[in-house]
Structures are given as C-alpha cells and as structure tokens.
Amino acid sequence: MGPQVEGKAVTDGIDVLVVGSANVDLVVKTSAFPGPGETVVGSDFKTYPGGKGANQAVAVARLGGRTALLGCVGKDPHGKLLRETLDLAGVDTEALRSRASVPTGVALITVDASGENSIVVVPGANATLGAEDVREFEHLFRAARVVLLQLETSLEAAAKALEIAHGFGKLAILNPAPAQQVPDSFFGMTDFLTPNRSELEVLTGRTVRTEADAEFAARLLLEKGAGNVVVTLGGRGALYLGRGSKRRVQAFPVRSVDTTAAGDAFNAALALGLARGLPLTDVLLFANAAGALATTTAGAQPSLPDLGRVEKLLGHKLGL
C-alpha cells in the first residue's frame, strides 16, 4: 500500500465503510446542454437510484467487497427505493437513517450526446446527517478496513467520520465531491484524497489545465497533510502522488455514454483494492478500469461493473 499507509489497522468484518449520500437520480438525455435562458428538447428520461455514497457502496459490493453505508434518506417512496436497491445489492444498511421530516435527496442530471453530464443536487435528508449520527455507529468504523467518504453530506458529518477513522487508525479515503473547500484539518486525517480536475482547483485555488498543473496542485495538498493524492483525469487516466513517489495510470479505451458514476466506481475500487492489500500499482489500475467501465452504460448504479468485467478489461485476475 505504500509507506504512507503502513501501520493502518486491518480488521475483519467490513472491507469498506462508506459514509455519504443516497439520492434518487432524475436523468434526462439531450443532444447538448442548454445555455442560460435556452430550452432544449430531451430525448429520454429515467429515474435511477444514486447518490455518491450509495453508488460507492453498491460498487464495492458489486466488485465482491463487504460494505456498509452510513447515510440518511427520507421516509418517502424515493427512500424506500434506495433502501430496497441497497439491500438487493448486498450493502449493509444498518446505519442508513430514515427521516420523516425531510424528503430523500435527488439529483437532476443532464447527459449530452458525448456522455458528459451536468448535475444539480438537492441534498434533502443527506444534509441532516450529523456528527451524532456518525458517532452512534462507531462500531462500524472499528469493524471496517477502509472508510470512504464524500462531501454530499454535511461537513460536520464528514469531519466526525474522518476523526473516528483516524482515531481507530483506519485507512481513510476522501473523495472531495461535489467540489468545495474543506477545513485544513481534513487533510491530515486523510490517507488518500481523490479529486478530479475541478475539485483540485477548488481545494487549492490553482488553475489546472495541464498535467503539470495537476501535479503542482496535488503537491500543495500533500504539503497540507494529505497522505496520498490521486487526481482523476477522465479520459486521460489518473495521476498518483505520494511522498517521494509519482505514478501515471493511462486510461482504458472504452466507448463512453454516461460519465455520471465513473468517479464513484473509481473510488470504490480504490477503497476495495486497498482494503484487500493489493499492491498500489494494481490498486490504481483496478480503480481506473472500474471507472472506465462505468462510463459505458447509462445511469449511475446500473453502470457500476462487477469484478468479472473489470478483470476482463485488465486481462488478468486480481486475487481479491
């Protein structure tokens, strides 16, 4: 796993504890994104289970990992749909709260002809997940090998999750999405930070246009205390930077139709690979392959690949 993660606890029970959001995705396809004040005609509309936390938990399960989701939904039909799909995928939902006072979160997603997407998230119940909710499930942190979180819940919940994971000596991965600034204290408790280009810009205040820009900005995050930084570069693969090490992972050529869950598949595979103790080079290839395959099918959770598809793309078994 590399020098920055040596000494982290490995326990039985849960490979990856995901702390994050559960949304229902309302997806429309169109030939091009509308500009300000413009109306365009969509070609298709579908409803999918989604949310970064739920997506990542389902992705871990589909890749053969043991996973649990700590999050929050409303007591409404959308919440029921999410709970049912998570249970069906094999995700432990013990820590999935249900709130009667707020609706389940939704994401309004527009996908253009090239497969790129534009997303508006309405957090709903996700925004009510607080530090006390996270603290109540400390036993799941203790049982987990890796803790994976994003920023679609409150910063308060994310901070508490990082604090508990750090306190138990667990490997913590922060996927800083959607893009927003976070307290500097987050970095020192994060073993792997996984921004894309736009998230990297927000975290550092630097413009990132080239790979050299990405490397410079990532090194700023290492200086802030992050253990390792993996910058996802879409069709150009990924860039890994650790203390004293750098690796470039090329993209896998696939026919992309919808990039919505690519980052979630990438982070799930990264977390599972680290949880199972794969060498870092294999972990990065695993994550890149999973992310690439997730762009080849429409919808977030429907696009998440199973282990067999990923190993076929890699051309070898991973030994998970």
For residue 43 the two structure tokens come to 């070609």
Q: Which of 170, 164, 226 is nearest to 200 (CA)?
A: 226
In three-state secondary structure terms, 197 is helix
CA-based R_g, the chain, Å: 18
Q: Which residues are designated catalytic? A: 264
Which amino acid, residue 25? Answer: D
Nearest to 115 by CA among 295, 288, 300: 295
Q: What are phi and psi of 136, to 5 degrees?
A: -60, -25
Residues in CB range of 141: below 8 A, 6 or more apart: 17, 147, 161, 164, 165, 168, 170
Q: What is the per-residue DSSP string for 211-235?
A: HHHHHHHHHHHHHTT-SEEEEE-GG
